[in-house]
Chains A and B, each alone.
Chain A
């Protein structure tokens, strides 16, 4: 069956089974490979996207469950928002990443956090980010980069 899904502001047609996770529609049907496969069970957060601004695990989100009016945002469109650009800049300035594979999910989760809570406390950052595994364990830097954006705001990006 064909589904129409708004992805990064563009309506895309997906001719897939309704239970196909959004992750695999993005990666293998649309060639949008920025969203990463990590566990397939919503355990690691590598596949995080936004659905109507809320962080969701695309590996466990069936295409058929996404409403026609919903808006999906992926890492490829992160730079379209001020928060997204501020986070990308902080990620580079703090040299957050090692391998970088989980970072799309970390950034999407962090941007959803800052969108709903622009000034999270240290413990709020920790608990909001606890669902995202970084196997290289760049946690000190992810934490610092989010705190930098929370402190400085997004005015300069």
Chain B
């Protein structure tokens, strides 16, 4: 495993260990009161803890701790604090935290972790701050705090009706010892006045005016821009470059070779070109001639991977087991009917709209400062420090708003590149920007995968055996790589009496990483499509088969957990969303002529989603999606319905887009695709009507960034089977199948 992966995984594990109980995490959140500090150009603002400051005019500034990539976290986490604080949302202003584990605890945009990890701790911060307000008022009035209440940013004495605003009390409150957040009393959820309200994004008013707010909008005095040329062949080493020719190009300030450190997640070999205008730096790349040593990787291709994988599946001999129970061979030997099919899904790129970029300034004392659009800032600080040979406290990181993430910015290669360039020009801020071509061709791709699936069905039409030979990738020296792996408890693992998952790994140098709903975005398609085949074979529909499979089953013990925060898989919650989606879509009732419905269910990132797609084919056999019904269970509260619905809708269109047309192919050791002409994202005209409902259950709220995506893909391909009798066993959908 690479160092970067180790570091980021370690951060995640640390985060999850803390989050095992919210109380543990909370204890790590500092509540140190500080003296009143003067805000620049404003009145003295009392800083009550790392998250809350209150000005005399009763403006409450709440720090949003996590990176904002469009998932709405900069709005949602402060809502939790503000509600328990009994603030009026109109008096709240939100600022973005710097990367600082000691002050803010774990800061990460990934894994749909933020909601389960912060639901309790952020509420506790709000409640503890409210308690300080009550104590300050009690002290000022010489009364018992028991006779006081709070309401919309004020403390009120119940008996007399006299009141004081938080702003009037804040400087006194800041002198008090903060209570232990773990011991404070939280609100009865019935009293929530902000949680559950649809609240617009706190940055949106600035975005619609075009104000500088994203990473690539960073402007610093004396800043120069950098373009970076690397090999399109993954793993290639730079032998020589004609730097002098490039330095002679218009506007070029300097050009130099960056020597990689052998870790693609940090720094690859390349040439950096500096200019006062990025376009000039990038244009000068046309004059570059670089001699590369491709090593053994220059002839890798998707075609070769496919041939190798198909041969492995045909051999019937996986390299290693993943999980096995019952007597699989006996189930197949005695089966009345055996299904045996191969499924495939391709590499995918993330392509967030804001191309990768990072601004770095190497200070004279060897410290480095970043303005970085990163989903994983603390890991970036650690690995950059290690690369530069400095201590992490010498790495200051301003987290910028990001133009999308989707998992791409969990890997901080752009930070390491910016650091290596900034190191060459100490004292000068450098903004590294990638072209879209750089982004598409230098990604950490969703791994492609192959599955040979077999199902044994007995004479009574029961699914008695299930066998998956999965062919996936490993990186040299790294073994099984997480985003390309299949966990042993992936549905239907525990719901078929005789079952075996096994795998074969192929070595590759193609960089791989987590794409929104990693693993699930591929496995939902494979498993729910193949189970639909089983359902068809046994004369029933998929939701009926799924409900039969979980009939009478209890909540599973939490043996694997999900990064330590999983409550365990609960068939009741699965049942709840399946029956809800069926009702929403009028499942089983007639649909418009030439239309068909398809079903998909998946559990990922602690969320349960069942989705129904209504599709048809145009006269030209193009896939058209008309409606999608989504039923989700993410627990007891939809904290911000605006953000939650936006995530469901975005996830669904994202999944449909992947199924309809996205693939990265490897040719000559690199990615064939390069920009939006050959990596065609979904656009407005293909957008269906999306109908979302939440099943509210008595479980702690969980995240929304990912779980709505996986089931829409099989729901679409299952609808197309219903419509045409043709089974989509390879993504993206090849409409020639329907000709």
Interface of A with B (CB < 8 Å)? Answer: 16-17, 20-21, 23-24, 27-29, 31-41, 43-44, 46, 74-76, 78-79, 87-88, 91-93, 95-104, 107, 125-127, 129-143
Which among B211, B276, B351, B642 is the interface contact of A34 at CB below 8 angstroms?
Answer: B211
Q: Mark B381-418, 1 if CB is under 8 A from A, else 0.
A: 00000000000000000000111111000000000000
Q: Answer whether A101 and B682 are a contact pair too, CB < 8 Å, given A20-B279, A139-B653.
A: no
Report whether over half of chain A's contact residues are helix, strand or loop; otherwise say mixed: loop
Contact B690 A140 (CB under 8 A): yes
For residue A131, which residue of chain B has the nearest CB? B683
| A55 to B109 alpha-carbon distance, docked (Å) | 34
Q: In the complex, what residues of B have CB within 8 A of residue A43's CB?
A: 675-677
* Closest-CB distance, A82 to chain B (whole angstroms): 15
Q: Mark B642-659, 1 if CB is under 8 A from A, else 0.
A: 110011011011100100
| A34 to B353 alpha-carbon distance, docked (Å) | 14
A-B contact sample (6 more), CB < 8 A, given A38-B354, A43-B677, A100-B403:
A43-B676, A74-B210, A126-B685, A129-B684, A133-B681, A134-B353
Contact A101 B277 (CB under 8 A): no
**Any chain A CB within 8 A of the CB of B205?**
yes
Between A and B, 14 residue pairs with Cβ closer than 8 Å are: A16-B277, A17-B280, A28-B277, A37-B355, A75-B209, A95-B200, A96-B204, A97-B201, A98-B71, A98-B650, A126-B685, A127-B685, A139-B683, A140-B687
**Centre residue among B212, B353, B403, B437 by max chain A CB count within 10 A:** B353
* Closest-CB distance, A139 to chain B (whole angstroms): 4
Q: In the complex, what residues of B have CB within 8 A of residue A102's CB?
A: 353, 403
**Any chain A CB within 8 A of the CB of B207?**
yes
Which among A20, A78, A132 is the interface contact of B210 at CB below 8 angstroms?
Answer: A78
| A18 to B306 alpha-carbon distance, docked (Å) | 47
* Closest-CB distance, A26 to chain B (whole angstroms): 10
Contact B201 A133 (CB under 8 A): no
Q: In the complex, what residues of A have CB within 8 A of residue B657's CB?
A: 137
Q: Answer whether A41 and B353 are a contact pair too, CB < 8 Å, given A91-B204, A139-B653, A141-B646.
A: no
Contact A88 B352 (CB under 8 A): no
Contact B404 A135 (CB under 8 A): yes
| A16 to B353 alpha-carbon distance, docked (Å) | 27
Contact A138 B354 (CB under 8 A): no
Q: Mark B672-700, 1 if CB is under 8 A from A, else 0.
A: 00011100011111010110000000000
Contact B681 A135 (CB under 8 A): yes
**Any chain A CB within 8 A of the CB of B214?**
yes
Contact B684 A143 (CB under 8 A): yes
For residue B354, which residue of chain A has the nearest CB? A101
| A74 to B209 alpha-carbon distance, docked (Å) | 10
**Any chain A CB within 8 A of the CB of B72?**
yes
For residue B436, which residue of chain A has the nearest CB? A39
Q: In the complex, what residues of B have CB within 8 A of residue A133's CB?
A: 353, 676, 681, 683
**Any chain A CB within 8 A of the CB of B219?**
yes
Which among A36, A40, A129, A135 is the interface contact of B435 at CB below 8 angstroms?
Answer: A40
The 8 A-B pairs with the shortest beta carbon distances in the complex, nearest first, are A34-B210, A101-B403, A99-B70, A75-B210, A137-B653, A98-B70, A24-B279, A100-B207
Which among B212, B216, B278, B355 is the interface contact of A24 at CB below 8 angstroms?
Answer: B278
Q: In the complex, what residues of B have CB within 8 A of residue A93's CB?
A: 200
Which among A36, A103, A131, A137 is the interface contact of B687 at CB below 8 angstroms?
Answer: A137
Q: In the complex, what residues of A have CB within 8 A of residue B198's CB?
A: 95
Report whether over half of chain B's contact residues are helix, strand or loop; otherwise say mixed: loop
Interface of B with A (CB < 8 Å)? Answer: 68-72, 198, 200-201, 203-205, 207-214, 216-217, 219, 225, 250, 276-280, 351-355, 401-406, 433, 435-437, 642-643, 646-647, 649-650, 652-654, 657, 675-677, 681-685, 687, 689-690
Which among A29, A135, A142 is the interface contact of B352 at CB below 8 angstroms?
Answer: A135
Which among A75, A76, A107, A135 is the interface contact of B353 at CB below 8 angstroms?
Answer: A135
| A24 to B71 alpha-carbon distance, docked (Å) | 29
For residue B211, which residue of chain A has the nearest CB? A34
* Closest-CB distance, B284 to chain A (whole angstroms): 12
Q: In the complex, what residues of A have CB within 8 A of residue B653's CB?
A: 137, 139-140
Q: In the complex, what residues of A have CB within 8 A of residue B436's CB?
A: 38-41, 44
| A40 to B279 alpha-carbon distance, docked (Å) | 10
Contact A140 B649 (CB under 8 A): yes
Contact B219 A33 (CB under 8 A): yes
Which among A24, A29, A76, A97 is the interface contact of B207 at CB below 8 angstroms?
Answer: A97
Contact B684 A139 (CB under 8 A): yes
Q: In the complex, what residues of A have CB within 8 A of residue B683's CB?
A: 129-133, 139
Q: In the complex, what residues of B have CB within 8 A of residue A31's CB?
A: 219
| A88 to B211 alpha-carbon distance, docked (Å) | 13
* Closest-CB distance, B352 to chain A (whole angstroms): 6
Q: In the complex, what residues of A have CB within 8 A of residue B277's CB?
A: 16, 20, 24, 28-29
Q: In the complex, what residues of A have CB within 8 A of residue B219's CB?
A: 31, 33
For residue B250, which residue of chain A has the nearest CB? A17
| A36 to B352 alpha-carbon distance, docked (Å) | 13
Q: In the complex, what residues of B have CB within 8 A of residue A46's CB?
A: 353
Q: In the complex, what residues of A have CB within 8 A of residue B217's CB?
A: 33
Contact A104 B646 (CB under 8 A): no
Contact B642 A95 (CB under 8 A): yes
Which among A36, A103, A129, A130 is the interface contact of B208 at CB below 8 angstroms?
Answer: A103
Contact B654 A137 (CB under 8 A): yes
Contact B212 A33 (CB under 8 A): yes
Q: In the complex, what residues of B have CB within 8 A of residue A131's CB?
A: 683
Contact B205 A92 (CB under 8 A): yes
For residue A103, which residue of chain B has the nearest CB? B207
Contact A141 B649 (CB under 8 A): yes
Q: In the complex, what residues of B have CB within 8 A of residue A101's CB?
A: 70, 214, 352-354, 402-404
Contact B684 A34 (CB under 8 A): no
Q: In the complex, what residues of A have CB within 8 A of residue B402's CB?
A: 99, 101
| A43 to B406 alpha-carbon distance, docked (Å) | 20
Contact B354 A36 (CB under 8 A): yes
Contact B684 A126 (CB under 8 A): yes
Contact B210 A35 (CB under 8 A): yes
* Closest-CB distance, B446 to chain A (whole angstroms): 15
Q: In the complex, what residues of A have CB within 8 A of residue B647's CB?
A: 98
* Closest-CB distance, A38 to chain B (whole angstroms): 6
Q: In the complex, what residues of A have CB within 8 A of residue B203's CB?
A: 100
| A139 to B683 alpha-carbon distance, docked (Å) | 8
| A31 to B216 alpha-carbon distance, docked (Å) | 12
Contact B646 A138 (CB under 8 A): yes
Q: In the complex, what residues of A have CB within 8 A of residue B353's CB?
A: 36, 38, 44, 46, 99, 101-102, 133-136
| A77 to B520 alpha-carbon distance, docked (Å) | 43
Q: Answer whether A37 and B433 are a contact pair too, CB < 8 Å, given A99-B70, A101-B404.
A: yes
* Closest-CB distance, A46 to chain B (whole angstroms): 6
Q: In the complex, what residues of A have CB within 8 A of residue B650's CB?
A: 98, 136-138
Q: In the complex, what residues of B have CB within 8 A of residue A38's CB?
A: 353-355, 436
For residue A31, which residue of chain B has the nearest CB? B219
Q: In the complex, what residues of B have CB within 8 A of residue A76's CB?
A: 209-210
| A91 to B209 alpha-carbon distance, docked (Å) | 11
* Closest-CB distance, A6 to chain B (whole angstroms): 18
* Closest-CB distance, B640 to chain A (whole angstroms): 9
* Closest-CB distance, B375 to chain A (whole angstroms): 12
Q: In the complex, what residues of B have CB within 8 A of residue A103's CB?
A: 207-208
| A38 to B211 alpha-carbon distance, docked (Å) | 17
| A17 to B250 alpha-carbon distance, docked (Å) | 9
Contact B279 A135 (CB under 8 A): no
Q: In the complex, what residues of A have CB within 8 A of residue B212's CB?
A: 33-34
Q: In the complex, what residues of A have CB within 8 A of residue B676's CB?
A: 39, 41, 43-44, 133
* Closest-CB distance, B423 to chain A (whole angstroms): 23
* Closest-CB distance, A31 to chain B (whole angstroms): 6
Contact A104 B201 (CB under 8 A): no
* Closest-CB distance, B14 to chain A (whole angstroms): 27
Q: In the complex, what residues of A have CB within 8 A of residue B649's CB?
A: 137-138, 140-141
